[in-house]
Structures are given as structure tokens and as C-alpha cells.
Amino acid sequence: MDTKAIAVHLAASIDISSCRRAIKGELLFGDRDELFYSDDIGYLYIFKYGIVAFYGYDWNGIDQISEMIKPFCLEWRSPELTEEIEVQLESEDFQPKVGNNKVILPKSNIEAMRLTLLHLSQSVALDYFAGLSEQIMKETRAHTTYLERFGKLDLGGKKLKKHIGRVLNINNQISENLYIFDSHEVAWEDEALDRLDKNLKQTFDLKERYRTIKEQGYIIKENLSLFKDIMDHRESSRLEWIIIILILVEVMDLFIMRLIN
């Protein structure tokens, strides 16, 4: 029987330690970044970067778990950003296999299920970060268009610094939360899991999508570096004019004093 694995984006971040105290299922794996549970219904995988993956749950069950997790979420959002894949469980000696929008796993291989839910969650995370990256690209493009048309920036000092901080923060989140290129530790000593790991990355096109986001990040950073240079030059020119004006005032004051005397 096929059952869907579903990953949903619920928040900007999730407090893992609070979730660990609140959820009563059997904890199969847990650290400061993620929690992997098993219960009578199926499997639950919670990630600190705001994504939760389910296997065996219907949408009513997903909504119930989501409401349970909600108090531990920062910047809660309705589960609109989702992805799913069919998972078919076979006999114990079956080798994991990835097909078109379908994964076939041995019934008792918990690590194979964990890998599947992990990469499904990474795919949703990439969708989220791709949306943020595209939004910042549009904003940056608007600033460069203004620069092209009018020969000056429409960003002031504080506004530019906030824009740079936002870009750096997103890039840091991507680097911290996405494990696209490294093989997962469960695949290091198991050939079947290693093959499953690579096939899932290929199926979800994780590496190419990750590269696209990173390349956009580099382009945005280059543009912001140029904006900063222009702003520094503008501030330097302004300072030079202030100094010139002060010198002129001093000269005029000296000249007037001599006339009076």
C-alpha cells in the first residue's frame, strides 16, 4: 500500500528543545537541530528551520501536530508551502528504490525513511529560500534600474545597511540549514542508503536548485558591494564639501574681522 510522505513549512524556526519536551512519541533520533519520531500512526520529523515532515498522517493528523508545535514556532505561517511523495513499503530484504515521484523502501529500514523525509524537507526548504532569493533579486534589480536611469542610488545609508543585513542573514540561513552536498551520516557505511541518498538528491534536483540560489546570492552581494562603494564615495564627497565650507567660513570670518579692525 502506498502512503504519502508530506513536508510542510510552518515557521521561520522551531524551538527544538521545547518540542522535545512536549511530544510523547518514540524519539528515534534527536539533536539541537532536528527530532525524528515514530508512533502508531507513522513517522514525524521536525527541523529547527521551520519544516516538519510526516509519513502515515492524513491532513487532520498533520493539522493536529502543527497546532501542537505552534507555540514553539517563531513567525508561524499556515502550511501553504508543502511537498509530497508516494512511499511504498516492501519486504525486509528489499533494496531502496527511487522512481518517478515514488520511493520504495524496506518496511523495517528506519534510516531509509529518515533519509526520505530529510530530503523531502530539504526540497521544501529550497522552495522557501528560492522565494526569498527571488524577492531580493527583484528589489536589487529595481535599485540598479534606478541607478541606470538617474545616475544615483535610491538607497540611503541606513536603508542600504538593512538591505545588506537581510541578504547576509538569508545566506547564513541557507548555509546553516541545508545539507545538500554532504552525504548524510547514516549513508556513510551503508551502500544501499548511500545510493538512496544520491538518488533522492537527484529526484528532488537539490544540488542544482541549491546552486541557483547560491549564484543569485553572489550576484546580489556583488551589487550590494557596488552600492556600498557608491554610498561611501557619496559620503566622502559630502565630507569634503563640509570641510571646504568650514574652511570658507573660517576665511570669511578672518576677512571680516580684519575689515572691522
Alpha-carbon Rg for the chain in angstroms: 27
Which amino acid would we find at residue 189?
E
Query: What DSSP assignment string belongs to 38-104?
Result: E-SS-EEEEETTSEEEEES--HHHHHHHHHHHGGGEES---S-SEEEEEEEEE-TTPPPEEETTEEE
How much is the pLDDT for 174? 75
Instruction: Please provide the average confidence, as pLDDT, over all residues in the chain.
Output: 84
212 and 140 part of one domain:
yes
135 and 216 part of one domain:
yes
The single residue listed with the C-alpha cell 502550511 is 79
For residue 145, pLDDT beyond 80: yes
CB-count exposure of residue 199 (10 Å: 0-12, 13-18, 19+): middle
For residue 182, pLDDT beyond 70: no
Whole-model pTM: value is 0.81
pLDDT band at 180 (very low <50, low <70, confident <90, very high): low
62 and 154 part of one domain:
no
Residue at 241 is within a domain = no
73 and 128 part of one domain:
no
How much is the pLDDT for 238? 65
pLDDT tens sequence across 189-237: 788 888 998 999 999 999 899 888 888 888 888 888 777 777 766 666 6
Closest CA to 118 of 78, 151, 150, 83: 83
Residue at 19 is within a domain = yes
Residue at 218 is within a domain = yes
217 and 132 part of one domain:
yes
pLDDT tens sequence across 70-120: 999 998 887 778 999 999 888 877 888 888 789 999 888 899 999 999 999
For residue 165, pLDDT beyond 60: yes
37 and 134 part of one domain:
no
How much is the pLDDT for 235? 60
For residue 239, pLDDT beyond 70: no
Domain that holds residue 61: 2-80
Say which range, 27-36, 172-181, 233-242, has the weakest mean pLDDT: 233-242
pLDDT tens sequence across 148-161: 888 877 776 677 77
59 and 131 part of one domain:
no
130 and 42 part of one domain:
no
209 and 135 part of one domain:
yes
Final residue before a domain boundary, out of 46, 80, 114: 80
149 and 225 part of one domain:
yes
Residue at 58 is within a domain = yes
Residue at 85 is within a domain = no
Residue at 240 is within a domain = no
Closest CA to 7 of 123, 104, 159, 88: 123
161 and 228 part of one domain:
yes
Q: What is the distance between the alpha carbons of residues 1 and 155, in angstroms, rounded to a whole number? A: 57
End-to-end CA distance of the chain: 105
Total structural domains within the chain: 2
Residue at 66 is within a domain = yes
For residue 1, pLDDT beyond 60: no
How much is the pLDDT for 119? 93
pLDDT tens sequence across 125-135: 999 988 888 88
Residue at 56 is within a domain = yes
58 and 148 part of one domain:
no
